[in-house]
Amino acid sequence: MKLLKGSLKRRREQLGISQADVAEGICHQSLLSRIERTDEISNITVLQQLCARLQLRVSSVAKINELTVTPLTVIRYFIDIGQFEQAANRLESSTLLRRLPVFALPEYNLLRARIALSQNQTTVAMQLLQIALGDAEKHQMELMIEIYTEMGATWAKQGEYVYASEYFERACGLIKGYRPTMRSELGKVIAHTYYHQSELYLTINDPEKARDRITKALAVLPTNEHFHQIVKLQKLRVKCCEQLSLLKEKAEAKMLIYAAAEFSKDINLQDDVKKYLEELETN
């Protein structure tokens, strides 16, 4: 069976774990190495077990039925499109937690924190992020970027802008440590960090810096299937342009919001952005 190119390796590296850790009790490390190298696997059971350990959707790497257990990547998807109630319900599954590998616990608590923050439970969010930070290994750099970013967002929501800025800078410091070629693989994570940093700049009345961060976020975010993120970024770009009186760029951002929603095929998102097209038509 042919797998999506680099899918297993990419997720393993995202979690910051070795081939031996992933393969333990499932298959020989050399087999996993060959699977990652060739993106081919003949044993579906082994694939299901590897995906379960990596907390990865089977359907995201191959065209077969999903596991009965909801992996963390599914929960991430619901958070990314703003369906926090769906994400919360799935995170509460006792089966999920029972079968969660130890190395995935920091990500689990990070996602719980993102849900808590969406509900304005800032104290709960910070506690969960502290747990995630304590459990994360130093080599799980991508996860550390996410944790620092959410800590910054949590401090910002509490009005503690100095602390927020400090944690965003920590996240950006880790981003700068990656080679430019590797940064492209972290596009979604980097864009998320820049989005929250841009929000902070707008809050403290520095729209020029906010606009710069949005521009950089849009430049690194992969356009394929990240339409909800594009809409979020362009909405923030509209706010920046309003404060800077950039009318032409503001109109362009509104048009891109509408276009991204149309490409998404998400009816809820399309309904949410209709006002931007209506504003363009009336101006």
Write out pLDDT tens, residues 91-107: 888 878 887 888 889 99
Q: Kindly compute the dihedral angle of the four CA atoms of residues 89, 13, 49, 128, in this order, to the nearest 10 degrees.
A: -30
Q: CA quadruple 67, 73, 78, 84: dihedral positive or negative?
A: positive
End-to-end CA distance of the chain: 53
Which burial class, exposed, middle or buried, applies to 153 when counting CB atoms under 10 A from its CB (0-12, 13-18, 19+)? buried
Going by pLDDT thresholds of 50, 70 and 90, the confidence category of residue 65 is very low
Going by pLDDT thresholds of 50, 70 and 90, the confidence category of residue 228 is very high
> Any idea how long the chain is?
283
Phi and psi dihedrals of 40, rounded to 5?
-135, 145
Q: Given a cut of 80, is residue 283 above it in pLDDT?
A: no
* 3-54 pLDDT per residue, tens: 888 889 989 988 889 999 999 999 999 999 999 999 988 777 788 889 889 9
Which residue carries 């440590």 as its tokens? 177
**Overall average pLDDT of the 156-173 stretch:** 97
* Between 67 and 64, residue with greater pLDDT: 64
Domains and CATH numbers, the chain: 7-60 (1.10.260.40), 178-282 (1.25.40.10)
Q: What is the pTM of this model?
A: 0.80
**Overall average pLDDT of the 115-128 stretch:** 97
* 241-282 pLDDT per residue, tens: 999 999 999 999 999 999 999 998 888 899 999 888 888 777
Q: d(Cα 23, Cα 31) in Å, to the nearest integer?
A: 8
**Overall average pLDDT of the 213-222 stretch:** 93
Q: Which two tokens stand for residue 24?
A: 């333990």
**Overall average pLDDT of the 142-155 stretch:** 96
**Overall average pLDDT of the 128-143 stretch:** 90
Name the least confident of 88-102, 103-117, 129-143, 192-206: 88-102
Q: Given a cut of 60, is residue 66 above it in pLDDT?
A: no
Which burial class, exposed, middle or buried, applies to 51 when counting CB atoms under 10 A from its CB (0-12, 13-18, 19+)? buried
